[in-house]
Amino acid sequence: MPTLRFPRKTALLPVCLAASFAGSPLMAQEQLEDQSQGSAAEPVELQSVEITASADASADGLTQPYAGEQVARGGRVGILGNRDYMETPFTSTSYTSQLIQDQQARSVSDIVQNDPSVRVARGYGNMQELYVVRGFPLYSDDISYNGLYGLLPRQYVAAEFIERAEVFRGASAFLNGAAPGGTGLGGAINLLPKRAPNESLTRMTFGASSGGQGTVAADLGRRFGEQNQFGVRLNAAKRAGETGVEDEDQTLDMFALGLDYQGDRLRLSADIGHQYHFLDNPRPSVTPNGGIPSAPDADDNFAQPWTYSKEKQTFGTFRAEYDFADSITGWAAAGVRDGEEQNRLSNPRATSDGSTTASRFDNHRKDRVYTGEIGMRFRVQTGTVSHEIVTSAAMHDFEEKNAFTFFGPVIGNIHDPFAAPLPTTVTFPGGDLSDPKRTEQVSTQSLAIADTLGFLDDRLQVTLGARRQGIETRSYAPVTGDRIDRYDAYETTPVAGIVYQLNNDLSVYANYIEGLTKGDTATATANNLPVLNAGTSLAPYVAKQTEIGLKYDGGNLGGSIAVFSTERPFGIVENQVFREGGEQRNRGIELSVFGEPVYGTRLLGGLTLLDAEQRKTLNGANDGNDAIGVPKVQANLGGEWDVPGVQGLTLTSLVIHTGKQYASAGNDLRLPSWTRFDLGARYRMTIDDRDVTLRARLDNATGRDYWASAGGYPGSNYLVLGAPRTLSVSATVDF
């Protein structure tokens, strides 16, 4: 296929989203009015500058924003590199820094809530953000940072780390390698770090939200050298105070330093990040016990006052890319993370009337991750056929130390919360909390090769490839440190994709690709009962996906429609024993739309229809039933409108609809559908030659009380209450 090169001279807007709002439709409108004293019917052409920075250390830089600047024209497609979405036999969406800022996103979940194929849930028994993509879970452990797994804080990732969030829909074992945490069979999320823009950046943001939580953030960027080849980007933020949930306090401290060098042939980048995240009285998930209780008030908190969740994470990455020739490029990347978590939690089981029983769960966990990748890309021509050949080798090594102890009992009621005394009677010990022992080691290694062939002047492109993946898992007893389970497994996961550009506006595509993850590992407990074979790991999972679709690019409005089917085995806990439980087949249709169809009016959203069917279950008991926590309908529609006659004012809205979902494998427990409305506004102005942006956002504007999700961990059906009506306001000043 042809080399995807953007011109060295291009608009300032795509390069400097984080540095300036000068390229927004509103600012363009102001320039037009100043120059022509007429209407702002067409955006003004911005001055061209030379690209000198890239978030991913590639020669071409980031893919350009699409009309409306909320999403980009494409993004990273694993080892295939950056691709325009019209020339890719897969579907993905890359959410830009402008969307992240304008929506006052606090974490990854606030960004991906814009995606109709993604729903946000929670990890099992903890406060971890969990994303359900095409009906399959994706742990925050398994999102990647600039192409590398396992480096980001595992429970919560602050939005201040992120330049772009790329959501890839579908299995991706060939493209990205097996996700080390055991998820990602329905899709992947890759986060890009921030880099210094061409123009000096000094930005401060001050914010507050319901409950009294305050935020202050600094974003500084500079470039140095005769050709601005050296870049430094510094981000720091602090959030503290009560959230919209009563008596739930959050403290967040983050720091990120991004360095880069952009030479003629050599490009280097490095990142160092640290995050401290503390939740006091975090509202827990609820496991139904015989029936589903009605949803409490969304701002109520039924957490015990002695519960908390605390984590500290530090990570670093390095990436290099070198052009050996115009048609040969090599790259290398490496990263390391050191993390520590301490929790005291109490996740209840609730009857239909709201009364609960629970245990006190204390744990202390330490993680260490090493990861790396090297690769080469060749571009050659054989007759009338172009080739882009890519090969890579990757490794990931993860060690977990963990200790936990259960105390009990704890009695409560989610509709009439009251403080229970701190239990001190040990019901299930799991190691020394002051000195946790090694409990799991996971190592992966892989080799991949692919060729993208271009025919008919590259209007027809065919991608063929395979990845040979090895997964080594060791499980250890938390009390003694003795090894209790191990396996070494190797799988070859192929890929075949084809995309044909019917004309400038339409592309049709199809793919076959597989997903691969390590098998699930039995947790210490399930449904508040000990698991008798805790620590046992199932064999690696292979998911098989087929997909066909159509993509549209009308210049100002783009979109796609896809039909897909994915199959994967799953594990369950039965009679307190963890084992393989059958197969889940997710079939669906996705429709997405984005852009600025009318100047000053932007749209972003879509529709996902899912049929998640259980098959091959024990004795056929649940064959044909819907999978836990997968709604049949997911719909999103976001809109922005620049108010005519009020220069700088934009009104925004977002509607999220999630259909009914089952909370039991037998489909006898069901959550009702829910719809959430978010409203917002922003106003941009200049004060003393400084750009100032004021933003306000009201989430869950109608104050809906609802259970947002069910489950997320295999065989579990815990419920997470939706967030309350929350008002967030902020002021951003560029100095």
pLDDT in tens, 65-101: 999 999 999 999 999 999 999 999 999 999 999 999 9
Instruction: With cut-offs at 50, 70 and 90, classify the pLDDT of residue 356.
Output: very high
Is the per-residue pLDDT at 30 higher than 70? no
- Six-digit token pair at 356? 């609960």
| Mean pLDDT, rounded, for 110-132 | 95
**pTM (two decimals):** 0.90
Please tell me the distance from the alpha carbon of residue 461 to that of residue 37, in angstroms, as a whole number.
Answer: 47
The arithmetic mean of pLDDT across residues 250-268, rounded, is 96
State residue 148's pLDDT score.
Answer: 96
**pLDDT for 228 beyond 90:** yes
* For residue 705, pLDDT beyond 60: yes
Please state whether the peptide bond connecting residue 597 to the residue before it is cis, i.e. omega within 30 degrees of 0: no
Q: Tell which wins on pLDDT, 4 or 154.
A: 154
Per-residue pLDDT, 520: 72
Does residue 706 sit within a domain? Answer: yes
Residue 314 has pLDDT above 90, yes or no: yes
d(CA 568, CA 186): 10
pLDDT surpassing 90 at residue 481: no
Q: What percent of the chain has pLDDT over 70?
A: 92
Identify the pLDDT of residue 527. 64
Question: What is the domain-level CATH number for residue 408?
Answer: 2.40.170.20
- Provide the pLDDT confidence category of residue 53 given band limits of 50, 70 and 90: low
Which backbone phi and psi does 53 adopt, to 5 degrees? -135, 150
- CB atoms near residue 633 (< 10 Å): 15
| CB neighbourhood size of 366 (10 A) | 18
- Rounded to the nearest integer, the mean pLDDT of the chain is 90
Mean pLDDT of all residues in 190-203: 96
Over range 35-51, report the average pLDDT. Answer: 38
Q: Is 3 part of any domain?
A: no
- Given a cut of 80, whether residue 11 has pLDDT beyond it is no
The amino acid sitting at 32 is L
Asked if residue 10 has pLDDT above 60, the reply is: no
How far apart CA 454 and CA 55 sit, in angstroms, is 28
Q: What is the pLDDT of residue 533?
A: 78
Task: Compute the residue count for the chain.
Answer: 735
SS3 735: coil
**In the predicted structure, residue 711 carries a pLDDT above the cut 60:** yes
Q: How confident is the model at residue 538 (pLDDT cuts 50, 70, 90)?
A: confident
Give the closest residue to 195 by CA, choosing from 376, 384, 449, 16: 16
Q: By the 8 A CB rule, do 344 and 306 touch?
A: yes
Instruction: Kindly list the distances between the CA atom of residue 174 and the CA atoms of 83, 202, 447, 496, in Å, as whole numbers in the listed order.
Output: 16, 40, 9, 10
Tell me the C-alpha distance between 47 and 731, whole Å.
Answer: 27
Q: How far apart are CA 394 and CA 270, in angstroms?
A: 18
Task: Measure the CA–CA gap between 654 and 103, rounded to whole angstroms.
Answer: 10
Q: Which two tokens stand for residue 219?
A: 């974003």
Burial of 702 (0-12, 13-18, 19+ CB in 10 A): exposed
Task: Name the 3-class secondary structure at 695.
Answer: strand
For 550, residues 6+ apart whose C-beta sits below 8 A from its C-beta are: 506, 507, 508, 509, 560, 561, 562
Rounded CA-CA distance 466/582 in Å is 27
Which is higher by pLDDT, 488 or 596?
596
pLDDT tens profile 422-463: 999 999 999 999 999 999 999 999 999 999 999 999 999 999
d(CA 713, CA 543): 17
Percent of the chain with pLDDT over 90: 80
How far apart, in whole angstroms, are the C-alpha atoms of residue 348 and residue 303? 9
How far apart, in whole angstroms, are the C-alpha atoms of residue 341 and residue 402?
Answer: 9
Structure token pair of residue 142: 């398994």
183 domain-assigned:
yes
Does 2 map to a domain? no
Domain that holds residue 344: 9-734
Closest CA to 167 of 65, 90, 89: 90
**What is the spatial distance between Cα 497 and Cα 509, in angstroms, rounded to a whole number?**
7
Q: Is residue 1 part of a domain?
A: no
Question: Per mean pLDDT, which of 353-367, 476-490, 574-588 is the most reliable?
Answer: 353-367
Please name which of 469, 477, 476, 466 lies closest in space to residue 443, comparing C-alpha atoms.
469
**pLDDT above 60 for 22:** no
Q: Is the pLDDT of residue 274 over 80?
A: yes
In 575-600, DSSP assigns E strands to 577-598
How many distinct structural domains can be found in the chain?
1
The whole-angstrom separation of Cα 323 and Cα 306 is 56
Residue 34: its pLDDT value, please? Answer: 41
Q: In angstroms, what CA-CA distances link 147 with 113, 373, 691, 706? A: 22, 9, 34, 36
